[in-house]
Amino acid sequence: MQSCLAGGTAFFSTNIDSSSFVMRLVDSGSADFELTEATIAQLQDGMKQGRFTARSIAEMYLGRIAGIDKQGPKINSIIELNPDALSIADKLDEERKAKGPRGPMHGIPVLLKDNIDTADRMMTTAGSLALEGSYALQDAFIARRLREAGAVILGKTNLSEWANFRSTHSTSGWSGRGGLTRNPYSLDRNPCGSSSGSGASIASNLCAVAIGTETDGSVVCPASTTGIVGIKPTVGLVSRAGIIPIAHSQDTAGPMARTVSDAAILLSALTGIDPRDAATQKSRGRIQTDYTRFLDPNGLKGMRIGIARKYFGYSDKVDKLIDDAIDVLKRSGAIIIDPVGLEAPKAYEATELEVLLYEFKADLNKYLAGLAPNIRVRSMKDVIEFNEKNRQREMPFFGQELMIQSQAKGPLSSPAYRKALQNNLLKSRTEGIDAVVIKHRLDAIVAPTGGPAWTTDLINGDHFTGSSSTPAAVAGYPAITVPAGFINGLPIGISFFGAAWTEPKLIKAAYAYEQATKHRRPPEFPDRIE
């Protein structure tokens, strides 16, 4: 596994004055880490009772990162730490004493994916060496919202470079700047992309919660393969301003957490109307200020749940696990409609890629043009040229075919782009999720999130074992994945997805299922599954 890091810098900056505290280096399999599986509510109660402070919580997680992520078993999920994290925590502790907490996120450490701008001493690079030295001129909207909520931005997570939209043969979890992130449930297996570092870090108890981003599968897939909860919101519920883009018709940021409750708290902190992202105007009147209102352990009673059988069949073991989950839904009072006719996305697979290629060029060029003047790359063309000149470091395992295809596309006024986008919306929305929801009067649709984590293969690239992320992704509709159990020690997730702006229903269903099953368990970091 050393060779996989030879292609990247594996940059890891702390710059934190470690003399001010004793780093609590924890053995990888240790059960005595004080914050193992700690929830936001438990951390808040600890601070209220005086057992913890924002600083002591941050210190404990920093020690855990040093011991687990960077020394052994070396998950390599964190690309950079915030050198100001402890001073921020100190100020929040002082504020708590003087005024009380701002809310449930006050003093809670959060990790952000390294494609989210933070106007501080951390870089934002999407894992690319081309953006080394890129310090954002202003916070992403969601970073600002987190600061306003009192969160401590602890650091940034590694990711699949350029959010996994560089090569047709990429390895998820690898970036030129960060190297390879490993799955904590089996170190030889893949954490899935592109929010691989966010998933692996939260699964490994390296922080309280994290933010991922998704264009198609990049929140729900890593959440599923690392045994945590991931919410992909409706496009427009969470601003994308200040996030390195792929495609504005599908991109969104979303919470990643160990529990549905924590994910709901985090989602509540992220939403808001943002003048820098026109899509958020559509969320006016639909935003909930507190998504924890929908955490009802009896929430499945009377809900109409459709089963998307077209997303079964790629693994007998996965099918059995999800059929067991469906039995839980029934016993919890849900009305099951099985199957519903949501077709697999053959009708828009090609046009989805076409839209992403067009929008990637337009959206990335706009982002790069707004960077600080010292940044060497100002366009996708510049990035492609940089990668070619630095091939040994940037492309030791896979190339940049998708970037080259994207660069060849014309403007967003092109008839081919408009036709492809129209087809996507027709097939995924009108004739897809909307049609099924209306026909069966559904509250949610259920399917396996994906298969077990595959063995990482830097030579041949990823080999996914099924996925149900595409309908909600292309439609721009919400989806939530929750742990559904394990296959040979590898986590499997179940997805709840539905019509636009139905996050409250999905959270209610996901929470009730989680409380009825409680499949979540922390990893033990084996080298491999025997």
**pLDDT tens for residues 28-72?**
335 589 999 999 999 999 999 999 999 999 999 999 999 999 999
Distance CA 307, CA 252 (A): 25
**Does 134 qualify as catalytic in the annotation?**
no
Question: Which one of the listed residues 28, 74, 77, 113 is annotated catalytic?
Answer: 113
Range of the domain at 462: 2-14+49-515
**Does 379 qualify as catalytic in the annotation?**
no
Residue 33 in domain? no
For 121-153, the DSSP string reads SS---TT-GGGTT---SS--HHHHHHHHHT-EE
Residue 327 in domain? yes
Residue 529 in domain? no
pTM recorded for the entire structure? 0.95
- pLDDT (tens place) for every residue of the chain, 530 residues total: 322 322 333 334 445 543 333 333 333 335 589 999 999 999 999 999 999 999 999 999 999 999 999 999 999 999 999 999 999 999 999 999 999 999 999 999 999 999 999 999 999 999 999 999 999 999 999 999 999 999 999 999 999 999 999 999 999 999 999 999 999 999 999 999 899 999 999 999 999 999 999 999 999 999 999 999 999 999 999 999 999 999 999 999 999 999 999 999 999 999 999 999 999 999 999 999 999 999 999 999 999 999 999 999 999 999 999 999 999 999 999 999 999 999 999 999 999 999 999 999 999 999 999 999 999 999 999 999 999 999 999 999 999 999 999 999 999 999 999 999 999 999 999 999 999 999 999 999 999 999 999 999 999 999 988 999 999 999 999 999 999 999 999 999 999 999 999 999 999 999 999 999 999 999 999 999 97
Question: Which one of the listed residues 77, 170, 172, 194 is annotated catalytic?
Answer: 194
Residue 467 in domain? yes
Burial grade of 411 (CB within 10 A; 0-12, 13-18, 19 or more): exposed
User: Residue 8: what pLDDT?
Assistant: 35
DSSP one-letter code for 44: H
Answer yes or no: are the C-beta atoms of 175 and 127 closer than 8 Å: yes
**Does 20 qualify as catalytic in the annotation?**
no
Residue 37 in domain? no
User: Residue 5: what pLDDT?
Assistant: 27
Residue 477 in domain? yes
**DSSP reduced 3-state for 194:** coil
**Residue 448 CB: number of other CB atoms within 10 A?**
28
Question: Which one of the listed residues 218, 249, 315, 495 is annotated catalytic?
Answer: 218
Residue 420 in domain? yes
Distance CA 291, CA 294 (A): 6
DSSP one-letter code for 320: H
- How many residues in total does the chain contain? 530
Query: How many domains does the chain fold into?
Result: 1
**Helix/strand/coil (H/E/C) assignment for every residue in 205-251:** CCCCEEEEEECCCCCHHHHHHCCCEEEECCECCECCCCECCCCCCCC
Residue 121 in domain? yes
CATH number of the domain residue 508 falls in: 3.90.1300.10
User: Residue 16: what pLDDT?
Assistant: 52
User: Residue 530: what pLDDT?
Assistant: 76
**Residue 404 CB: number of other CB atoms within 10 A?**
15
User: Residue 325: what pLDDT?
Assistant: 98
Strands (E), 63-208: 78-81, 109-113, 152-157, 174-175, 179-180
User: Residue 465: what pLDDT?
Assistant: 87
